[in-house]
């Protein structure tokens, strides 16, 4: 008979630690943190590795459990006929300043203190209405580079009843990467990212994902940008050139009408800084300002964003009801974007900097993103020309061929509203200037707009030049005299010696040549000439003339009435001439 077996005992199984919070297993209760270790330093790894809860990064679950929970969330969203919207805060739906603000308070402007630093926040126009309308179609999540305390405080102001965001708030403290927000998507949505749409003023932090609806940055406080922008991130992309991308002036010999030229953007920026705007002073409550000017309060950006999101929602569920398949929001939003300029063949004039690849410019990238075809030159397929200034070859060619020409503000409007504006509202002509963003304004050439001076102006300029040249000549004469004086002082034989009169004779010789120019001057300059002739000092002009007349009569008596010399003197002159001729011949031979 087989031996009797006792009752089976349940063997203890090892815990997989599928749920861990603050390095402690939620299943078995074991403390997994190393002794004297920091958060995340565990003695056992366990299966928990996914942080699914936005505001509780210390809570980790296993991949299997994360997918199970994610599947339930996905089914719940689809059951409610909603999608998922990730909302950025700074310069998307609010603008925050850490600088003093003395303007009037309102329901959309509030102040608070974080870590002993006062802050002021302005809510973008239409934000509350936008959240109310979108809440019926999207489950909203906050994703921001602001700190946790800041993010929750702003969410409390926007959603005091917690019906929009609830606790779905992801701050800088929970983000996995300092420059990109995309690294958290897999943990938050383990079952896929197909239902996600994003609104943000920056595309780079989302690595240019197709489901990003880029929002025009909202700026209420003039001297403050995005205080929570990721460190090291590039500036927000604009359709217009930056200071580094500015088209250079044509080189010598080039046709200035071929390419747009602009002044130094840095110099323009310095001029703007040197001349404070009165509106900026008023917005910050500067002394003497009548009241705050709020140029952004006519902002309608969120209304256009709402239209795009509602259109994407409608397309998604139309396809879902027909096929029962989940479409990808990256594809849907990209299609809506490309339909804006579909069929347009665009040529850029004066926008692409010389020597730069056009594919690297913001204007080209935005054209392609919104569905336009780019052309280097004007052809019969060209439908539109976007120019920065009047007078280029492409602009004139477009007008001759009846092709519409618009300013760069037209393309900015496309990016802002996600629809094609009326070209008649943005014509480019001789009198129009492209409305480029401040600090990136492209100016027409200063030489092209320079007025020709008249004859009086040219004569005045010539007189100024002559006067300057005469001053230079006087300075050169003074320098020459100084050099001669120094040279005389350096020659031992010419130094002053009471027993040697060579220096005095040299000075007399110098005076003789220096006085040559005073013969044709006024009466006060006759003194040196009289000394050379031996004229007595203190003689007046009348006596001088009488004495000169007597001298002439004496000469006539000596040489004869006809002024001829005696024969002996004439022979002597002939001998002297012959001797001089012989010496000259010997010298040249």
In the sheet that holds 196-200, the strands lie side by side as 169-170, 138-143, 83-87, 196-200, 212-214
Q: What is the pLDDT of residues 247-281, one digit of tens each?
A: 443 333 343 333 333 333 333 333 333 333 333 33
Residue with tokens 């949505």: 189
Which has the closest alpha carbon to 417: 569, 213, 279?
Answer: 213
Strands (E), 325-432: 345-349, 373-375, 384-387, 405-407
First CA to last CA across the chain, in angstroms?
A: 156
Residue 233 has pLDDT above 60, yes or no: yes
Share of the chain above pLDDT 90, in %: 40
The pLDDT value given to residue 113: 94
CATH number of 340-433: 3.40.50.10190
Q: Any long-range contacts for 247-255 (C-beta under 8 Å, 24+ apart)?
A: 247/350, 247/351, 247/352, 247/353, 247/354, 247/388, 247/442, 248/353, 248/354, 248/355, 249/445, 255/393
The domain locations on the chain are 16-66, 81-229+299-339, 340-433
In the sheet that holds 19-21, the strands lie side by side as 24-25, 19-21, 59-61
Distance (Å, whole) CA 322 – CA 319:
5
Token pair belonging to 476: 């050169």
The pLDDT value given to residue 307: 97
Residue 490 has pLDDT above 70, yes or no: no
Residue with tokens 């001298």: 551
Domains 81-229+299-339 and 340-433 equal at CATH topology level:
yes
- Find out whether 260 and 247 touch, Cβ atoms under 8 Å: yes
Over range 27-31, report the average pLDDT. Answer: 78
CATH fold for domain 81-229+299-339: Rossmann fold (3.40.50)
The pLDDT value given to residue 564: 46
């Amino acid at each position: 008979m087989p031996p009797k077996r006792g009752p089976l005992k349940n063997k203890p199984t090892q815990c997989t630690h599928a749920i861990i919070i603050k390095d402690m297993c939620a299943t078995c209760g074991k403390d997994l943190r190393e002794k004297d270790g920091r958060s995340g330093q565990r003695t056992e790894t366990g299966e928990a590795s996914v942080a699914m809860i936005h505001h509780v990064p210390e809570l980790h679950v296993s991949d299997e459990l994360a997918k199970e929970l994610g599947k339930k969330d996905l089914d719940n969203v689809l059951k409610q006929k909603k999608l998922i919207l990730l909302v950025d805060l700074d310069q998307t739906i609010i603008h925050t300043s850490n600088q003093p603000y003395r303007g009037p308070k309102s329901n959309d402007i509030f102040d608070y203190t974080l870590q002993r630093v006062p802050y002021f926040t302005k809510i973008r126009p239409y934000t509350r209405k936008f959240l109310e309308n979108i809440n019926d179609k999207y489950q909203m999540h906050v994703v921001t580079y602001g700190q946790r305390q800041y993010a929750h405080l702003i969410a409390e102001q926007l959603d005091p009843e917690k019906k929009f965001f609830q606790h779905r708030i992801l701050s800088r403290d929970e983000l996995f990467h300092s420059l990109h927000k995309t690294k958290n998507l897999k943990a938050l949505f383990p079952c896929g990212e197909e239902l996600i749409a994003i609104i943000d003023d920056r595309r780079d932090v989302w690595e240019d994902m197709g489901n990003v609806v880029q929002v025009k940055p909202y700026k209420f406080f003039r001297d403050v940008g995005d205080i929570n922008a990721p460190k090291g991130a590039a500036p927000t992309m604009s359709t217009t050139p930056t200071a580094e991308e500015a088209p250079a002036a044509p080189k010598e010999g080039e046709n200035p009408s071929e390419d747009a030229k602009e002044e130094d953007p840095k110099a323009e920026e310095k001029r703007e800084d040197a001349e404070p705007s009165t509106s900026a002073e008023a917005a910050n409550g500067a002394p003497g300002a009548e009241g705050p000017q709020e140029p952004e309060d006519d902002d309608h950006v969120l209304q256009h964003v709402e239209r795009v999101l509602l259109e994407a929602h409608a397309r998604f569920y139309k396809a879902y009801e027909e096929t029962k398949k989940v479409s990808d929001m990256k594809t849907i939003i990209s299609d809506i974007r490309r339909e804006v300029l579909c069929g347009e063949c665009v040529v850029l004039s004066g926008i692409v900097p010389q020597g730069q690849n056009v594919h690297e410019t913001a204007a080209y990238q935005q054209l392609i993103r919104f569905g336009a075809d780019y052309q280097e030159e004007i052809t019969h397929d060209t439908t539109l020309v976007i120019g920065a200034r009047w007078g280029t070859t492409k602009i004139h060619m477009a007008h001759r061929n009846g092709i519409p020409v618009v300013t760069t503000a037209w393309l900015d409007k496309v990016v802002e509203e996600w629809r094609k504006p009326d070209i008649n509202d943005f014509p480019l002509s001789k009198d129009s200037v492209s409305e480029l963003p401040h600090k990136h304004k492209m100016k027409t050439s200063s030489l092209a707009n320079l007025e020709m001076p008249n004859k009086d102006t040219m004569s005045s300029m010539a007189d100024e030049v002559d006067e300057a040249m005469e001053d230079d000549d006087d300075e050169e004469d003074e320098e020459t005299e100084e050099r001669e004086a120094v040279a005389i002082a350096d020659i031992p034989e010419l130094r002053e010696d009471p027993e040697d009169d060579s220096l005095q004779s040299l000075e007399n010789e110098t005076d003789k040549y220096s006085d040559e120019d005073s013969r044709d001057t006024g009466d006060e300059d006759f003194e040196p000439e009289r000394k050379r002739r031996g004229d007595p000092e203190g003689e007046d002009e009348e006596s001088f003339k009488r004495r000169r007349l007597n001298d002439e009569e004496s000469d006539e008596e000596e040489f004869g009435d006809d002024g001829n010399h005696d024969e002996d003197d004439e022979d002597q002159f002939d001998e002297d001439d012959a001797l001089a001729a012989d010496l000259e011949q010997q010298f040249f031979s």
